[in-house]
Amino acid sequence: MTLVRSLLRSTLFVTLLLATCIDGQVRKLFFGLRPGPAGAVWVHRWCRRIVRAMGIACTVEGPLPVITPNGLAVVSNHLSYLDILVYSAVAPCVMVAKSEIRGWPLLGWITAQAGTVYVQRADVKGGQTQTHAQVNAAMRDAYRSGLPVLFFPEGTTTDGSEVLPFRRGLYHSVLADDVPMNAAALSYVLDDPNPDATVANDVCFWGDMVFAPHLFRCLGLRGLRVNIRFDPTRVRGDDRFALAINCRRQTIELYARLQSHQETEPIPCALENKSIAAA
């Protein structure tokens, strides 16, 4: 049954990605869809369908952070490529992602329509990375979009056993533009029995794991659920070092609460915060 489930969901997943791209191209040609706020809302609607088709149940705890005139930054732990899909399914947002994602078939084009900021950490051929000025300019435009900007300061995915130290690079633009910041955390759970499957190896995507086989296994899982928790308390810090430390501290606390199941009444996935939906 697991193999059949993987095959059926894989077919549906690819079909939905193709349908998303076709719909996007039609909207670009005839309705002027452009990367940015409108594109992010469009991606959000399709991600809701994709996440549901993948068999992922989703709950959100805590109110979605309110966007200010200066924008909004949200930081989170990072466990899998699924994180981008589930956060996009919760609400329209701008992601900060590694530049390699831009070249992924189908998914790369879809993420670009939401105005994703692609950060080039190192050139494959050993060339120069993006300058701080280029990254800061891209981040500034993202904050001005009227949507929350979500990034994963760990800089990589993990198996969920810990929250890695947060990198400080992207905090410069937060401080320079006086952008308010909130922390979030997500955790995956298998509610139903799945013989020989674990969240760490079959949901989290880390180390030297290969994308296609991992996705195929993940799509065969039963009872996969993601819990996301937002902290309404703004993160404070006088400099990048303090801000990174405080963001990580709040994220660790949120993640620990999710792991220990100390949860409030969940809010259904994709419940739109009015301040975001109106953007």
Look at residue 171 and give its three-state secondary structure: helix
Q: For residue 45, what are the contacts with CB-CB under 8 A and spacing of at least 6?
A: none
Mean confidence (pLDDT) of the chain:
89
Domain that holds residue 236: 2-277
Number of folded domains that form the chain: 1
- Residue-wise pLDDT for 200-252, tens only, equals 999 999 999 999 999 999 999 999 999 999 999 999 999 999 999 999 999 99
pLDDT in tens, 47-60: 999 999 999 999 99
Taking CA atoms, 107 is separated from 112, 198, 213, 256, 263, in Å, by 9, 25, 17, 31, 32
Q: Which of 53-62, 104-113, 270-279 is predicted with the least confidence, judged by mean pLDDT? A: 270-279
**What is the pTM (predicted TM-score) of this model?**
0.89
CATH number, domain of 194, equals: 3.40.1130
